[in-house]
C-alpha cells in the first residue's frame, strides 16, 4: 500500500513542498536541499515512467475529472530536463540568492513539472498561473534597478496570457462537456480558404494565443528580454529554463501539425537572431536567442511528423541545458564585474578561466557544433524538414543557424577576448563554478556517438532511427561555422559596440502609450478649461439667485407681524381641513 501510494505521488508535489524547507535552513543546509529536492523529484519522474499507465491518478472536482498524473509521449524528457536544470540552477544560486527567490524557484520548477503531467485543461490552467506568480516573485526578489517595473510588465503580459487561456478552456469545457485534453489542431484550419469560422476554431485560437504569449512569439515577446536581465544572476537562470519550454510542451501536446506554426517559427528564428546580434546587454542578448531557438521548435511542431516531434522534444531538452549554462556564465560575469554591457567588457579570459571555458562550450552547443547537444537536436529537426519536402524552409533553417554561429562568436569575443577592459575579476564562488562545470559536461557527454541512443533517445516515445553523425551533415556544419567565423573577423572593424538600446514592441506600451496619454491630456485642456468657465458662471448665477431669495433683506428672510402670521396660519389650516374632509 505504501509503495502504491508513493508511485501515485505527483513529482511536482515533492518539488513544491520541498521548497518550504528552504527558509528555515542554514545556508549550507540549503546547499544540500538544493540537490536533494530535485533529485527526489527526478527519481519519482522515473519511477512513474517505468510502469505507468496513461492515467494513474484521478480527482473529481465539480463533476469534472482532474488528471494530475497523466503521461504523454513528451512527459518524460521534459520532466527530466526540468529536474536536472532545477537542481543545477538551485545549486548555482543557493549561496547568493534570497530565500524568497529560492522558494519561488522551486515552486516555479514544480509547477512546470506538474504541467508535464497534466491530463486536463483545468490542471493546466492552475499550474500555468502558479508558474506566472512564482516567476514574478523571482523578478521582484532582485536588487537590480527597475526590477519592480519589469516585474509589473511581466505580470501584465502573463495575466493577458492567462485570461486568453482561461477563456478558451471555459469555452472548450462548456462546448465538449469535458475537461480532458484533446488535440486542437483540427480546429485551427480556419486560416485557410474553404473552412468555416466556427466556435471550435475560436476556442482553439484563444488557447493558442495564450500559449504563444508564453512562448514569447513576437509581437508578444518583449516581456522576455525586458524581465530576464532584471532578475538576479541565479533568478535569470531559473527564468531561462521553464516558461517558454512549458509553452512548447503544451503546443506539442495540443497543436502538433498546425502548419501555421511553421511560419510563426521561422519569423521567430530570424526576429530573435537579428535583435540578439544588435544587442549590447549580455543577458538581453541571450534572452533574444531564446526567442530564436523557440522558433526552431515551433517549426518542428508545425511539421508534425514523428521525426519532427522527436526533434522538438530533443531540442527543448538540449536548449534547456546549454541556455542555462550560458545564463550561468553571463550571470557570473555580471556578479563578479557588476557590468551588464558588452561595451564595458573584454579581456576577461585573463582572470576568469573556468567561466571562459564554460561559455565556449555553451556557445558551441547553441551553435550546433559537432559533438555538442545542439548538434544532435538541430540535425534531427533539419532532417525532418528535408523529409517533409520543404526546401525553402530548409534554406531558411540553415540561414538562421548561421546567425546562431555569429551570435555565439560575438558573445565569446566581446566578453572574453576583445580589447582588454582592465577588469580583472576572478571566477565566481565555488557553488556557481561547480554548477557551470557540471552543466558543461552535460552539454557534451550525451552527444558522444554511442551514448546518444542510451541517454537522449531513451527518453523519447517515438522510435528514432536517424543518425546525426553523417559525414555530409558534419562537413556542412563545420563549413558554415568556419565561413561565419571568417565573416565575423573580416567585418570586425565595422562592428561597433553601442550603448544604444534596441527598440522592441514593448515601445508601444512603454513609450508610445506615454506620448498618447500626454497628447490626450493636452488636447483635453481646451474643453476642460471651457467647461470650467461654464461651470463657474453657472455656479455664480445659482449663488445670486439663492442670495436674492434667502439672503439678508430677501423675501424669505423678511420679518412678519404677528397678526399677519396668525392670518396665514388660519388660512392654511382651513385649506387642510377642507381637503381632508373632501377626501373622506
Hey, what's the cell of 491? 567585418
37-66 burial code (b ≥16 CB/10 A, e <16): bbeebbebbeebeeebeeebbeeeeeeeeb
* Backbone φ and ψ of 420, nearest 5°: -60, 125
Hey, what's the cell of 164? 486568453
3-state secondary structure string across 524-568: CHHHHHHHHHHHHHHHHHHHHHHHHHHCCCCCCCCCCCHHHHHHH
CA distance 366 to 400: 12
- Range scoring the smallest mean pLDDT among 156-160, 390-394, 516-520, 537-541: 516-520
Q: Which residue has the higher pLDDT, 33 or 473?
A: 33
Which residues fall within 8 angstroms of residue 326, CB to CB, at 6 or more apart? Answer: 286, 289, 359, 362, 363, 366, 411
DSSP state of 9: S
- pLDDT confidence of residue 11: 92
C-alpha distance from residue 370 to each of 363, 367, 377, 454, 470 (Å): 12, 9, 11, 18, 11
Residue with cell 549590447: 280
Angle 548-549-554 from CA coordinates, rounded to 5°: 75
- pLDDT confidence of residue 196: 40
Q: Beta-carbon neighbour count of residue 571 at 10 Å?
A: 10
* 4 — pLDDT class (breaks 50, 70, 90): low
- pLDDT confidence of residue 365: 92
* 559 — pLDDT class (breaks 50, 70, 90): low
**Which pTM was predicted?**
0.85
Hey, what's the cell of 436? 557551470
Mean model confidence pLDDT for the chain: 85
CA distance 242 to 218: 18
- pLDDT confidence of residue 5: 58
Largest Cα span, the chain: 125
Counts of helices then strands in the chain (DSSP H, E): 24, 2
* Beta bridge mates, 61: 64
CA distance 559 to 555: 9
Model confidence at 533: pLDDT above 90: no
Nearest to 74, CA basis, from 316, 278, 264, 280: 316
Q: What is the DSSP string of 216-247?
A: T-TTS-THHHHHGGGS-HHHHHHHHHSHHHHH
Provide the percentage of residues in the chain whose pLDDT is more than 90. Answer: 42
* Backbone φ and ψ of 192, nearest 5°: -105, 155
* Backbone φ and ψ of 59, nearest 5°: -125, 130
3-state secondary structure string across 92-142: HHCCCCCHHHHHHHHHHHHHHHHHHCCCEHHHHHHHHHHHHHHHHHHHHCC
Residue-wise pLDDT tens digits, 125-150: 999 999 999 999 999 998 888 888 88
Residue-wise pLDDT tens digits, 244-298: 999 999 999 999 888 889 999 999 999 999 898 888 899 999 999 999 999 999 9
* 61 — pLDDT class (breaks 50, 70, 90): low
Model confidence at 192: pLDDT above 50: no
Residue-wise pLDDT tens digits, 80-119: 999 999 999 999 998 888 889 999 999 999 999 999 999 8
Residue-wise pLDDT tens digits, 384-443: 998 888 888 888 888 888 888 888 888 998 899 887 778 888 999 999 999 999 999 999
Q: Beta-carbon neighbour count of residue 288 at 10 Å?
A: 27
Arithmetic mean of pLDDT, 211-220: 93
Residue-wise pLDDT tens digits, 449-504: 888 878 888 888 788 888 888 888 888 888 888 888 888 888 777 666 556 667 77
CA distance 538 to 545: 11
* Top-confidence range, 63-77, 85-99, 564-578: 85-99
- pLDDT confidence of residue 499: 63
CA distance 247 to 87: 21
* 47 — pLDDT class (breaks 50, 70, 90): confident
Provide the percentage of residues in the chain whose pLDDT is more than 70. Answer: 88
* 1 — pLDDT class (breaks 50, 70, 90): very low
Model confidence at 532: pLDDT above 70: yes
* 123 — pLDDT class (breaks 50, 70, 90): very high
Amino acid at each position: 500500500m505504501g509503495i502504491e501510494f508513493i508511485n501515485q505521488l505527483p513529482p511536482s508535489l515533492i518539488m513544491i513542498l520541498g521548497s518550504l524547507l528552504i527558509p528555515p535552513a542554514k545556508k549550507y543546509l540549503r546547499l544540500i536541499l538544493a540537490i536533494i529536492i530535485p533529485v527526489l523529484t527526478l527519481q519519482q519522474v522515473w519511477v512513474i515512467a517505468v510502469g505507468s499507465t496513461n492515467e494513474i491518478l484521478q480527482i473529481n472536482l465539480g463533476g469534472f475529472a482532474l488528471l494530475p498524473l497523466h503521461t504523454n509521449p513528451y512527459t518524460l524528457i521534459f520532466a527530466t530536463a526540468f529536474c536536472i536544470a532545477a537542481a543545477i540552477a538551485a545549486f548555482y544560486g543557493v549561496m547568493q540568492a534570497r530565500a524568497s527567490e529560492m522558494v519561488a524557484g522551486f515552486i516555479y520548477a514544480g509547477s512546470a513539472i506538474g504541467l508535464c503531467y497534466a491530463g486536463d485543461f483545468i490542471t493546466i490552467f492552475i499550474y500555468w498561473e502558479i508558474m506566472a506568480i512564482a516567476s514574478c516573485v523571482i523578478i521582484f526578489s532582485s536588487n537590480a534597478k527597475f526590477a519592480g517595473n519589469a516585474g509589473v510588465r511581466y505580470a501584465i503580459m502573463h495575466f493577458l496570457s492567462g485570461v486568453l487561456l482561461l477563456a478558451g478552456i471555459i469555452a472548450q469545457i462548456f462546448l465538449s462537456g469535458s475537461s480532458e485534453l484533446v488535440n486542437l489542431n483540427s480546429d485551427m484550419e480556419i486560416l485557410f480558404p474553404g473552412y468555416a469560422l466556427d466556435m471550435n476554431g475560436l476556442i482553439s485560437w484563444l488557447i493558442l494565443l495564450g500559449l504563444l504569449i508564453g512562448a514569447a512569439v513576437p509581437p508578444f515577446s518583449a516581456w522576455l528580454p525586458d524581465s530576464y536581465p532584471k532578475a538576479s544572476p541565479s533568478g535569470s537562470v531559473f527564468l531561462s529554463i521553464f516558461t517558454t519550454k512549458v509553452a512548447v510542451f503544451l503546443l506539442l501536446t495540443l497543436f502538433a501539425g498546425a502548419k501555421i506554426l511553421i511560419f510563426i517559427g521561422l519569423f521567430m528564428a530570424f526576429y530573435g537572431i537579428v535583435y540578439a546580434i544588435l544587442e549590447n546587454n549580455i543577458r538581453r542578448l541571450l534572452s533574444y536567442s531564446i526567442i530564436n531557438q523557440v522558433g526552431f521548435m515551433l517549426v518542428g511542431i508545425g511539421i508534425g511528423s514523428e521525426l519532427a516531434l522527436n526533434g522538438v522534444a530533443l531540442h527543448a531538452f538540449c536548449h534547456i541545458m546549454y541556455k542555462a549554462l550560458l545564463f550561468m556564465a553571463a550571470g557570473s560575469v555580471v556578479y563578479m564585474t557588476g557590468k551588464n554591457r558588452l561595451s564595458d567588457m573584454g579581456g576577461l579570459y585573463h582572470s576568469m578561466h573556468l567561466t571562459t571555458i564554460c561559455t565556449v562550450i555553451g556557445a558551441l552547443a547553441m551553435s550546433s557544433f559537432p559533438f555538442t547537444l545542439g548538434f544532435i537536436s538541430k540535425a534531427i529537426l533539419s532532417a525532418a524538414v528535408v523529409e517533409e519536402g520543404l526546401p525553402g524552409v530548409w534554406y531558411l533553417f540553415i540561414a538562421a543557424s548561421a546567425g546562431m554561429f555569429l551570435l555565439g562568436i560575438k558573445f565569446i569575443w566581446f566578453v572574453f577576448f576583445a580589447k582588454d577592459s582592465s577588469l580583472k575579476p576572478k571566477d565566481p564562488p565555488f557553488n556557481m563554478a561547480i554548477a557551470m562545470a557540471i552543466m558543461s559536461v552535460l552539454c557534451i557527454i550525451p552527444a558522444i556517438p554511442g551514448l546518444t541512443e542510451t541517454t537522449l533517445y531513451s527518453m523519447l516515445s517515438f522510435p528514432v532511427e536517424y543518425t546525426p553523425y553523417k559525414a555530409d551533415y558534419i562537413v556542412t556544419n563545420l563549413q558554415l561555422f568556419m565561413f561565419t567565423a571568417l565573416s565575423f573577423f573580416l567585418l570586425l572593424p565595422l562592428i561597433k559596440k553601442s550603448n544604444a538600446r534596441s527598440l522592441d514592441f514593448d515601445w508601444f506600451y512603454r513609450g508610445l502609450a506615454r506620448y498618447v496619454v500626454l497628447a490626450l491630456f493636452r488636447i483635453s485642456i481646451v474643453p476642460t478649461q471651457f467647461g470650467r468657465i461654464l461651470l463657474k458662471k453657472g455656479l455664480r448665477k445659482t449663488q445670486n439667485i439663492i442670495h436674492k431669495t434667502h439672503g439678508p433683506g430677501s423675501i424669505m428672510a423678511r420679518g412678519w407681524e404677528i397678526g399677519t402670521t396668525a392670518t396665514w396660519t388660519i388660512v392654511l389650516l382651513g385649506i387642510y381641513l377642507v381637503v381632508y374632509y373632501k377626501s373622506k
